[in-house]
């Protein structure tokens, strides 16, 4: 660590008891991940085995795709399928054959489970195996679940990446794998930083194409760029790869700590680390200081949604001068969150899971300056006079690494500044 790095808090949250709640929860389902995954994997197709509701969700969330040949679709389960009157497997095979004969560009096909396919217990793993045999070697068929039953919207990406890990070829190369789907421009910045430190054997999961030379094995070390990749982490560990624990690359501090974990592993000299990071760190600090002014001294309350809550709370409290009242997360993965909890200053409630009514009561009682929550809660809370930020925006907007640190602070600052202005005008 060097002098630019703020010290860890005297009392982090590593030992803070977590308030565990169960009850009604308000989140999108894992199908949402298809919206960003299909852009990253250019030869993949996501076939949702679901209902008309699933098709509507995808179409409305991905409306921007109407100008392109879509790389996702829905095989609709009709009433006869749901009642077990038709052989859904036969129909699925027919649909897949039709799709693949029309689209020779597809090299990876994901059968994506949904609430209806889970309810009728459609065995998509068996279907993927059968269809892989039928369409190999041109197309690889995998499956995962994007169902909204007991899951959150970012888990779709986790389930998708976890499904890819078992079929990666074995390699004994000493390599760094960077795991998580990022916007292309952010991914390029990440690769420039890592290669600038002299690490050349680097691959990214998910790769843009199926034939990308990527394997995994005991000499693979990996760093996660997204905090919601618990199943992918487990799948990579099962393949013998080793995780590099670190805070996540949000804000200047998180990015530096994330890069330091990689630098330590690859014995990057301190001077080289400084040479690569000093300028973007300084830019990030300046951008955050400018953008975060309206946040200084304000309070923030996180409802559980994206699984980004703990790293973002760390960023807002340590780099933007905010105080967290409650940080709610849908799940807290103790290994992945260890470094985040150690950095998060003690003093707020940390909750896992959701009982939305009880949490709303706590939020109203605290009356925070900013509430980060899902779309469904934002409007009612705004109507009650609370200032909100939609959590889903944080997943769709480039927010990782140094060059986006200022934008990340701005995303939170904008609603606070608007509220301040409205109050000034009303005064
Ligand atoms: Fe709705 Fe479930 Fe389909 Fe998601 S998977 S759109 S929650 S029915």
Q: Is 373 annotated as a binding residue?
A: no
Q: Is residue 313 part of a domain?
A: yes
**130 alpha carbon – ligand 1 mean position (Å):** 25
Q: Is residue 35 part of a domain?
A: yes
Domain carrying residue 96:
30-151
Q: What is the dihedral of CA 236, 261, 392, 372, to 10 degrees?
A: 130
- Average pLDDT value for residue range 357-372: 95
**28 alpha carbon – ligand 1 mean position (Å):** 8
Tokens (6 digits) for 192: 């420039």
CB 245 within 8 A of CB 175: no
Q: What is the per-residue pLDDT across 9-24, written as a single tens digit (0 to 9) for each?
A: 766 888 888 999 887 7
Which residue's entry shows tokens 């793993």? 125
2 pLDDT tier (thresholds 50, 70, 90): very low
CA 177 to chain centre: 17
* pLDDT at res. 172: 95
Mutate to test the pocket of ligand 1, among 148, 149, 152, 375 (most ligand atoms within 8 A of CB): 148
Q: Looking at ligand 1, which atom is closest to the CA of residue 148? A: 7
Q: What is the per-residue pLDDT across 303-334, written as a single tens digit (0 to 9) for each?
A: 999 999 999 999 999 999 999 999 999 999 99
Q: Is 203 annotated as a binding residue?
A: no
Q: Is residue 240 part of a domain?
A: no
Q: What is the ipTM of this complex?
A: 0.98
Q: Is residue 1 part of a domain?
A: no
**CATH number, domain with residue 80:** 3.40.50.1980
Q: Is residue 326 part of a domain?
A: yes
- Which residue lies with its CA nearest to atom 3 of ligand 1? 54
Among the candidates 151, 186, 220, a domain finishes at: 151
Q: What is the per-residue pLDDT across 101-123, written as a single tens digit (0 to 9) for each?
A: 999 999 999 999 999 888 888 89
* pLDDT at res. 22: 85
CA 376 to chain centre: 19
pTM, to two decimals: 0.92
1 pLDDT tier (thresholds 50, 70, 90): very low
- Which residue lies with its CA nearest to atom 6 of ligand 1? 54
**349 alpha carbon – ligand 1 mean position (Å):** 31
Q: How open is the CA angle 412-416-420, to the nearest 5 degrees?
A: 160
Q: Is residue 303 part of a domain?
A: yes
CB 203 within 8 A of CB 161: no
Among the candidates 127, 151, 175, a domain finishes at: 151
Q: Is residue 10 part of a domain?
A: no
Among the candidates 98, 126, 151, a domain finishes at: 151
**122 alpha carbon – ligand 1 mean position (Å):** 15
CB-defined site of ligand 1, < 6 Å: 29, 31, 50-51, 53-54, 57, 114-115, 146-148
Which residue's entry shows tokens 């007991």? 150
- How many other C-beta atoms lie within 10 A of the C-beta of residue 352? 16
Number of domains in the chain: 2
**29 alpha carbon – ligand 1 mean position (Å):** 6
Q: Is residue 219 part of a domain?
A: no
């Amino acid at each position: 660590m060097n002098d630019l790095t703020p010290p860890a808090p005297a009392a982090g949250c590593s030992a803070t008891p977590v308030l565990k709640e169960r009850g009604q929860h308000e989140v999108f389902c894992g199908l949402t991940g298809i919206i960003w995954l299909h852009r990253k994997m250019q030869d993949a197709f996501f076939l949702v085995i679901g209902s008309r509701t699933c098709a509507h969700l995808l179409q409305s969330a991905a409306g921007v795709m109407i100008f392109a040949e879509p790389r996702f679709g829905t095989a609709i389960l009709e009433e006869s399928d749901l009642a077990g009157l038709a052989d859904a497997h036969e129909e699925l095979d027919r649909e897949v054959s039709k799709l693949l004969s029309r689209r020779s560009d597809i090299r990876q096909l994901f059968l994506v489970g949904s609430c209806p396919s889970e309810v009728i217990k459609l065995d998509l793993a068996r279907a993927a195996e059968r269809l892989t045999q039928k369409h190999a070697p041109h197309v690889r068929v995998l499956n995962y679940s994007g169902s909204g039953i007991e899951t959150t919207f970012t888990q779709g990406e986790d389930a998708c990446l976890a499904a890819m890990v078992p079929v990666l070829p074995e390699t004994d190369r000493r390599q760094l794998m960077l795991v998580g789907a990022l916007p292309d421009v952010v991914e390029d910045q990440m690769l420039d930083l890592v290669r600038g430190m002299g690490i050349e054997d680097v691959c990214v999961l998910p790769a843009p194409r199926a034939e990308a030379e990527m394997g995994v094995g005991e000499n693979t070390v990996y760093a996660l760029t997204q905090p919601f990749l618990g199943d992918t982490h487990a799948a990579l560990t099962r393949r013998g790869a080793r995780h590099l624990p670190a805070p996540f690359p949000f804000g200047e501090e998180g990015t530096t700590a994330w890069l330091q974990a990689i630098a330590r592993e690859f014995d990057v000299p301190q001077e080289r680390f400084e040479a690569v990071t000093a300028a973007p760190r300084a830019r990030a600090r300046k951008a955050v200081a400018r953008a975060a002014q309206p946040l200084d001294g304000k309070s923030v309350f996180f409802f559980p949604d994206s699984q980004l809550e703990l790293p973002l709370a760390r960023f807002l409290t340590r780099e933007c001068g905010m105080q967290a009242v409650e940080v709610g997360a849908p799940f807290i993965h103790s290994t992945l969150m260890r470094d985040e909890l150690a950095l998060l200053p003690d003093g707020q409630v940390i909750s896992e899971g959701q009982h939305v009514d009880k949490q709303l009561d706590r939020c109203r009682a605290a009356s925070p300056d900013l509430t980060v929550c899902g779309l469904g809660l934002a409007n009612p809370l705004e109507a009650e006079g609370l200032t909100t930020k939609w959590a889903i925006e944080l997943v769709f907007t480039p927010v990782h690494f140094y060059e986006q640190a200022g934008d990340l602070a701005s995303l939170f600052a904008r609603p606070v500044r608007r509220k301040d202005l409205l109050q000034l005008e009303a005064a």
